[in-house]
Chain A
Amino acid sequence: MEPMPKVLKALNWITGALFVVALYMVLFFAPREAVMGDVQRVFYFHVAAGWVGALAFLVTAVTGGIYLARGERRWDLVALASVEIGVIFTFANIVSGSIWARPIWNTWWTWDPRLVTATVMELVYLAYLMLRQGIEDTDRRARFGAVYGIVGFLSVPLTFLSIRIFRTIHPVVIGSSDPTALGAFDMIPKMRVAFFFSLFTFTFVYVTLLWHRLRLQRLSEKVEQMKMKILSV
């Protein structure tokens, strides 16, 4: 068992500490929103989770591109690890949004452009994972993953744009005035601090998780190699 690198150990502690501070900020430091009440506090982690999802998928598209250009396996490992994290955080983003929407919009779900886009994005990357699962050959799996990661990442903003324009042309649909984000309520400075601190913290969570995931992959491969060695003796 190889020891955990020092930087990673430090990162564990920093991320943990940041998370505790972020929790404090979201729950106590940020003031109670006048209209929505406490449920508005979902917003901080909700947006932060969405941010990590988008960031993770961006990383997948970029590392996928690098993999195609250079053919080095480690880039593919980053791409895959990033998708796994992105899928979880996007899911958290959708669920937390739903929790918030129940009292505010009086429904768990509306077909708002952002909701639809987030869901489609989740489906794209679930498809990504299924694609990889269906391919035995590791090189091919990596290449196809990279291609689909790039195509998928390009299509998500296009989906958003399509649905967005669709709503502006037909203003009959509810939710066109964006009650999810900044526009719906004015963030006072303290809220803003809590908000950006959440984003910052979640970015750290992402990096830490990614690192752990890659390390896990390397270790499991080592085990695999040792197994092969033992079996071949």
Chain B
Amino acid sequence: MSEIGTTKVLEDNLVTLRRTSGLGGYLRAIGAIVWKDLAAELRSRELLGAMLVFALLVVLIFNFALELDIRTRETVTSGVLWVTFAFAGTLGLNRSMAVEKDRGCLDGLLLAPVDRSALYFGKALGNLVFMLIVEAIVLPLYSVLYNTNLFQPGLLAVILLGSIGYVAVGTLLSSMAVQARTRDVLLPILLFPVVLPVLVPAVKASNGFLLGFEMAEIWSWLNLLIVYDVVFIAVAFMVFDYVVEE
């Protein structure tokens, strides 16, 4: 209490602010949000922990459900992987937005003098990092458990592109779902039918790389993925304002 009594006025009243409207301020805001999400997660490890355990459980269930012997394994691996990522991803998306909602932090972000799309990109980038971390752990485990080599540059590129598209839509929709009464069940219902055009080419392209298809065949899938990523990011960028502002 005495601390407050003695410091009546701040020693330095001069608080200087940078312009937050330019590109520098925009990128700084994105960086601040990503840093904040990572710092919080590094401490609690709630989100990554849950995503990882869940992902491994899904892989395990598939093992029994599909009898993953060598022959079937080759053809279903890409499907199993993407279903795993998609399911684990919803956990991460939900949690990451719930953090913003719980102590009213979303209002705190909205009060900051930065463009709303910076909030979107900040959250999306953070979500992407979490998703990639989970994938980086699931892939080697899957490789060891099922004795398949998943570390092909092509496959990794597909996983990156697919995750970008998934997170682009997912971040937008999770920021809506989290504001609904039924928020825990709503996200997968909203997300899965809409994100299908990302998942289909992602599964197909992954499959192409795993089965050693011709590059010419795989390219059409990669092109589709890139187009969808761009389309979804652009749309989310345009409508995000309406999702967070009243």
Q: Could you tell me which A residues sit within 8 Å of B by CB distance? A: 68, 120, 123-124, 127, 130-131, 133-136, 139-140, 143-144, 146-148, 150-152, 154-155, 158-159, 161-163, 165-166, 169
Contacts and interface: CB of A to CB of B under 8 A. Distances in A.
6 contacts: A123-B193, A134-B186, A144-B243, A147-B176, A151-B194, A155-B195
A114 B66 CA distance: 28
7 nearest A-B residue pairs (beta carbon): A134-B180, A158-B197, A134-B182, A162-B200, A123-B193, A124-B193, A155-B194
Contact of B179 (A135, A152, A163): A135
Given A127-B189, A151-B169, A165 B220 contact: yes
B27 interface: no
A144 B176 contact: yes
Interface of A, secondary structure class, is helix
B224 A131 contact: no
Given A131-B176, A139-B246, A150 B239 contact: yes
Given A124-B193, A162-B200, A131 B186 contact: yes
B130 interface: no
A143 B200 contact: no
Given A134-B181, A135-B181, A151 B200 contact: no
Contacts of B32: none
Interface in B115-164: none
Contact of A159 (B169, B172, B197, B221): B197
A143 B179 CA distance: 12
Contacts of B242: 68, 143, 146-147
B220 A169 contact: yes
Contacts, number: 88
B181 A158 contact: no
Nearest to A132: B180
Contacts of A134: 180-183, 186
A169 B217 contact: yes
B75 to A, nearest CB: 12
Contact of A155 (B197, B204, B217, B239): B197
Contacts of B236: 151
Given A151-B169, A161-B224, A120 B193 contact: yes
A139 B181 CA distance: 15
Contact of A140 (B189, B201, B235, B246): B246
B151 to A, nearest CB: 25
Nearest to A169: B217
B38 interface: no
Interface of B, secondary structure class, is helix
Contacts of A147: 172, 176, 239, 242-243
Interface string B172-213: 110011011111001001100111110011001000000000
A216 to B, nearest CB: 25
A148 B173 CA distance: 8
Interface in B210-246: 217, 220-221, 224, 228, 231, 235-236, 239, 242-243, 246
Given A134-B186, A158-B228, 10 more contacts: A120-B193, A127-B193, A133-B182, A136-B181, A147-B242, A152-B194, A159-B197, A161-B224, A162-B196, A166-B204
B200 A166 contact: yes
Contacts of B239: 68, 147, 150-151
A74 to B, nearest CB: 17
Contact of B180 (A120, A131, A163): A131
A134 B228 CA distance: 28
B201 A162 contact: yes
A120 to B, nearest CB: 5
B193 A155 contact: yes
B224 A159 contact: no
Nearest to A124: B193
A127 B190 contact: yes
A94 B190 CA distance: 21
A90 B190 CA distance: 18
B197 A148 contact: no
B200 A159 contact: yes
Nearest to B181: A134
Contact of A135 (B180, B193, B221, B224): B180
A166 B176 CA distance: 31
